[in-house]
Amino acid sequence: MKKKFNFAFFDEGSKREIRRSILKAIAIPGYQVPFASREMPVARGWGTGGIQLTLSCIGQKDVVKVIDQGSDESVNAISIKKLITDTTDVEITTSTTDATIIQSRHRVPEEELNENQIIVLQVPTPEPLRDYEPSETKTKILHGEKEYTGAKLLLFEQIMKYNTMATGADHPVEVNNRYVMAPSPIPKFDNPKLNESKATILLGAGREKKIYAVPPYTKVISLDFEDVPFEVENFKGKSCSHCGASHVYLDEIIDQESGSVSYQCNDTSYCLKRRNGEIQ
Amino acid sequence: MSKFHRVFDTQKLFRQVLDSMSYAASVKNVHSICNGCDYSMDLFKTTQAIAISLLDADTSYNVIGSKNIDEKLAMITYCRKNDIANADYIFIPNENQSELDKIISQAKIGTLIDPHLSATIIVECNSCTSGKVYRCKGPGIKETKEIKINIQSDWLDARNEKNIEFPLGVDLIFVDKNYNLLALPRTTQVERV
């Protein structure tokens, strides 16, 4: 542990401010609380919002898991884990069920989360209306007036162009019948996991200086239309080439030489647990 | 000298407050965290610890009653005092608990554009584990949850009236002398049983 830093990197004043914002975010589910995003030893856009939330919440007894696009071992996940352990000395795990804080870049783990777990999602663009309205002042008014035609219009345009809602990720959701929220660029496959989640969901956008949250047991509905209902990605007939899982989010792997296509679990720790026989 | 650790104990207390706020209306016992927190203010140790954990020069506060608290709170946290209608955090000591309904109706609720600019009221009550029974529902609660609060104030009607237009409203944290705390965010719908 590098002693020259305060515990969890931040000075106490920074933690206090972020903690106050988290409490407000929980009290107003889906509302983006502005906060004074700190300069981090990681470039903005590499998860600084998520790291700030994790470091403000973390204590000596926490067990942390960090995932990047489903992987515990990619560069982003490793760098964040290094920063966390260097400044806190907490235990790191890859197991979803053992973690008390899970910081994730764009996936909700396959294993169901439990009460008293916190999942921290890294957010690049917290404003679901941004493509429709570039002005922050105006989007804040739209949220205040619950005027979400713009969010629906963006989806409607996709249906006009592609015959379907073509959001690959970050499909907007309505939280607690009030705020429309960007769920961070998780695949549509993960949107239903946010609904009535047992775990607390915190979302942090470092570059955009926003914190928002979804408390547990809160209604989260993906936006759709009566005649074009929301649908998750379809992996029918496909399964993981390593563990055989067929009900999970799969990555498509193309063999460069033969051109053949195979699939494997996107959530690497889930796949590993299945192969080790720890879960069915 | 207080034995409340400004780094580790504030973190532990924050997580308990966060849990009580996110699993709304859940009671958390913070005895092991707050029993060393004594800044010689006329407040429960839990209340003092919450103040130390959340307040600083960026925030404003108001305390109902005691002058002893008023001076010390500002001295220890550098927090600025503001009138009830504009304070971010309002502390109601045990002996003034009957004023809760009056304070709720005066506290700020934010604006539709900035609903986070609303007050959090920390109130000391006789008990958060016994007393009148209330039924709660809303985000953070699986179906419904029953809570018991013993306080000499008819606070419920004032709160219901204040929080009528979500996202506007005030958040409440009840604290008792047995180191229990119970948070009621504005989203929680509370009714008498």
Residues of A in contact with B115 (CB under 8 A): 28, 31, 144
Contacts of B23 (CB under 8 A, 6+ apart): A115, A200, A215, A216, A217, B140, B141
Q: How confident is the model at residue A280 (pLDDT cuts 50, 70, 90)?
A: confident
Task: Establish if B145 touches chain A: CB-CB under 8 angstroms.
Answer: no
Third-level CATH fold of A12-222: Rossmann fold (3.40.50)
The tens place of each residue's pLDDT in chain B, 193 residues long, gives 578 999 999 999 999 999 999 999 999 999 999 999 999 899 999 999 999 999 999 999 999 987 788 889 999 999 999 999 999 999 999 999 999 999 999 999 999 999 999 999 999 999 999 999 999 999 999 999 999 999 999 999 999 999 999 999 999 999 999 999 999 999 999 999 9
Residue with tokens 């502005």: A34
pLDDT at A39 over 70: yes
β pairing state of A101-105 and A118-122: parallel
> Cα–Cα distance between A219 and B140 in angstroms, integer?
10
**Residue B75 placed within a domain:** yes
> Cα–Cα distance between B128 and B183 in angstroms, integer?
10
Tens digits of residue pLDDT in A106-124: 999 999 999 989 999 999 9
| Closest approach of B98 to chain A, Cα-based (Å) | 25
**Residue B3 placed within a domain:** no
pLDDT in the model for residue B68: 83
Task: Establish if A253 touches chain B: CB-CB under 8 angstroms.
Answer: no
One-letter amino acid of A140: K
Mean of pLDDT values over A2-19: 89
Tens digits of residue pLDDT in A171-191: 999 999 999 999 999 999 999
> Cα–Cα distance between B144 and B39 in angstroms, integer?
38
Number of domains in chain B: 1
Domain of residue B163, residue span: 8-192
**Residue B97 placed within a domain:** yes
Question: Nearest chain B Cα to A20, which residue?
Answer: B54
- Asked if A179 lies within 8 A of B166 by C-beta distance, the reply is no
Contacts of B90 (CB under 8 A, 6+ apart): B61, B62, B63, B64, B84, B103, B107, B119, B120, B121, B122
Residues of B in contact with A27 (CB under 8 A): 21, 171, 185-187
Identify whether B139 is preceded by a cis peptide bond (ω within 30 of 0).
Answer: no
pLDDT in the model for residue A1: 55
Closest CB to B116 among A31, A145, A214:
A31
Closest CA to A144 of B112, B4, B48: B112
**Residue B1 placed within a domain:** no
Burial of B27 (0-12, 13-18, 19+ CB in 10 A): middle
pLDDT at A16 over 80: yes
Tens digits of residue pLDDT in A60-112: 999 999 999 999 999 999 999 999 999 999 999 999 999 999 999 999 999 99
Residues of A in contact with B17 (CB under 8 A): 23
Chain-centre distance for alpha carbon A105:
6
- Asked if A28 lies within 8 A of B116 by C-beta distance, the reply is yes
Angle between helix axes B8-22 and A48-57 (nearest 10 degrees) is 110
pTM for this one?
0.96
pLDDT in the model for residue A3: 60
A243 annotated active-site:
yes
| Percentage of residues in chain A having pLDDT higher than 90 | 92
Q: Which ipTM was obtained for this model? A: 0.97
Residues of A in contact with B171 (CB under 8 A): 23-24, 27
β pairing state of A200-205 and B120-124: unpaired
> Cα–Cα distance between A136 and A132 in angstroms, integer?
11
Contact B49, B35 (CB under 8 A): no
> Cα–Cα distance between A229 and A38 in angstroms, integer?
40
pLDDT in the model for residue B119: 97
> Cα–Cα distance between A16 and B90 in angstroms, integer?
17
Closest CB to B113 among A16, A140, A215:
A140
A57 annotated active-site:
no
pLDDT at A250 over 70: yes
| Closest approach of A74 to chain B, Cα-based (Å) | 29
CA distances from A263 to A37, A178, A239 (A): 39, 38, 6
Task: Please provide the average confidence, as pLDDT, over all residues in chain A.
Answer: 94
Residues of B in contact with A15 (CB under 8 A): 10-11
Chain-centre distance for alpha carbon A72:
14
Contact B78, B57 (CB under 8 A): yes
Task: Establish if A28 touches chain B: CB-CB under 8 angstroms.
Answer: yes
Structure tokens at A59: 């204590």
Domain ranges of chain A: 12-222, 235-280
Contact B106, B85 (CB under 8 A): yes
CA distances from A32 to A66, A131, A145, B73, B129 (A): 23, 17, 15, 30, 33
| Closest approach of B21 to chain A, Cα-based (Å) | 7
Residues of A in contact with B164 (CB under 8 A): none
Residues 147-166 of chain B with CB under 8 A from chain A are: 166
A271 annotated active-site:
yes
**Residue B102 placed within a domain:** yes
CA distances from A122 to A3, A77, B59 (A): 27, 12, 27
Closest CB to B115 among A28, A116, A141:
A28
Can you give the CATH number for the domain in which B119 is found?
3.40.50.11310
Tens digits of residue pLDDT in A125-173: 999 999 999 999 999 999 999 999 999 999 999 999 999 998 889 999 9
pLDDT at A2 over 70: no
pLDDT in the model for residue B71: 85
